[in-house]
Structure 1
Amino acid sequence: MAQQVFPTKGNLIATKKTLALSTMGYDLMDKKRNILIREMMGLVDQAQKLRNEVDEIFDQAYAALRNANITLGMIGEIAESVPLDDGITIGYRSVMGVDIPIIKYEKKPVVLSYGLYDSNSQLDYAFMCFQRVKEISITLSEIENAAAGLSDAIVKTQRRANALKNVVIPNLESTVKFISDSLDEKDREEFSRLKVIKAQKTAKAKRLAAAQAEAAKAEAVGE
């Protein structure tokens, strides 16, 4: 649907410029969307591999922990003695203007928080497995958050691209056509008007010439 604009050459030029910019904007958004999709799909593949690895190590860790609990008895006190890990910081990187979180983990030397007499090989193995799960989970959370952020950006970019493609650009094209058709119609009307005026002037000139010729003839007869 054409916008309601006054059909002038100035408006035609301005609308064509807006149409060109909108078309360029759509092309850029489409390229951005494709880049974001490729980036996200790569992250999704990485996340799936890490989830599989986490599940496998979790199974091993819980099996070892279950065996340790059977042989050592209640290990709740040992679990509570494990210190909190504060070696995580969060930063950001930009992908096509989208801020993606980066989780930096300062890995510290593994120090057992329990005595040798309070443990066995199963508990030690469970401890190491959970350490590995923690490290993978940090990487996995970074990737999953990045993928979620990219997914939101893709939806927003797609929505804007669709608005340009399906609404803005067609409206501008209709407006350009409306103005062009109106100006062409004005040109045809002006041409017709000038043609009529020219015909009237020509007819008037012929009548004047005929009158002058008739007058000259009458004057010659009178002499």
Structure 2
Amino acid sequence: MPNKQVFPTKGNLIAIKKSNALAKVGYDLMDRKRNILIREMMTHLDDVKLLREKITITFSKAYNALQEANTTLGIITDLTEAIPIDNGIEITYRSVMGVEIPKIIYAKPPLKLSYGMERANTKFDYAYRSFYEVKLLTVTLAEIENSIYRLANAIRKSQKRANALKNIVIPEFEANIKFISEALEEKEREEFTRQKVIKVNKDKQKTLAK
């Protein structure tokens, strides 16, 4: 429906046509952005599925090995406390259509046994190696899942804006253009009829004056 507060003038018609053209460009950009972001997200979805499955399997093996180590060694708190804290993670970002996608830079520490061998056994060693692998996989998964979350959020916003332009803004502009164009055409017809009547009356007056 046209906006009844829009006055049917040539100036308004020109302005609304320009706004409508910009809205259509905006819609095309939003739609293109959405498609690019969807393609970017799709490249990560299979990786997430595989990583989650691998983490689940690896963590299960690690936990079972740790339980067996606890059974054979007793409570091994002193061994776990000997494992150093890992602070080798940094985060940078790359931009995809204005969306900041995280990139984790991980200075992966070499796998080395930092606890006393006299208190450990092969079960604990296996658990340690398995949890180390879980940690590496989790770092990768965190990067990918965060990327997917950001992309999905940006896709939702882009879709919402594109829908608003396509279903509300552009139709309103086009309705106003139609309303103003028809009103101006009607004015032109009225003016043409008025001028024609004036000409006929003048011609009549000239004829009578002769």
Question: Which of the five TM-score ranges fits, normalised by the shorter chain?
Answer: over 0.9
Q: Does residue 15 of structure 1 match 2:7?
A: no
Q: Where do residues 108-127 of structure 1 align in structure 2 (5 Å cutoff)?
A: 108-127=109-128
CA shift, 1:41, in A, is: 2.2
Q: State the shift of 1:163 in Å.
A: 1.1
Identity %: 55
Letter in 2 for 1:202: D
CA distance, structure 2, for counterparts of residue 191 and residue 152 of structure 1: 57
Q: Which amino acid aligns with 1:46?
A: D
1:70 equivalent in structure 2: 71
Are residues 1:185 and 2:186 paired?
yes
Aligned residue pairs: how many? Answer: 209
1:155 paired with 2:145, answer no
Taking the aligned partners of 2:88 and 2:55, their CA distance within structure 1 comes to: 20
1:108-129: CA deviation from partner (whole Å, max 9, x where unpaired):
2222121121111111111111
Mark the runs of 5 or more structure 1 residues left unpaired by the alignment.
210-223
Other-structure match for 2:106 = 105
Distance apart, 1:83 and its partner CA: 1.1
Q: How does 1:134-173 map to 2 (within 5 A)?
A: 134-173=135-174
Which amino acid in 2 is paired with 1:2?
A: P
Deviations 1:25-57 (A, max 9, x none): 001101111111121122222111100010010
For residue 203 of structure 1, give the secondary structure of its aligned residue in structure 2. Answer: helix
Structure with larger Rg: 1
Question: Residue 207 of structure 1: SS of its match in structure 2?
Answer: helix
Query: How much does 1:190 deviate?
Result: 0.4
For residues 101-154 of structure 1, what are the alpha-carbon distances to aligned partners after superposition, in whole Å with 9 as ceiling and x for unaligned? 111100122221211211111111111111111011001001101111111111
TM-score with structure 2 length normalisation?
A: 0.96
Range 121-130 or range 184-193, more displaced = 121-130
Partner of 1:2: 2
Q: Structure 1 segments of 4 or more deviating over 3 A?
A: none
Aligned equivalent of 1:133: 134
What TM-score, normalized by structure 1, do the two folds share? 0.90
> C-alpha separation between the residues in 2 aligned to 1:136 and 1:2?
57
Long gaps (5+) in structure 2 = none
Query: C-alpha separation between the residues in 1 aligned to 2:109 and 2:173?
Result: 61
1:205 and 2:206 are equivalent in the alignment: yes
CA RMSD of aligned residues (A): 1.1
- Aligned partner of 2:42 in structure 1 is 41
Aligned residue for 1:107, secondary structure, equals: coil
Alignment-mate amino acid for residue 2 of structure 2 = A
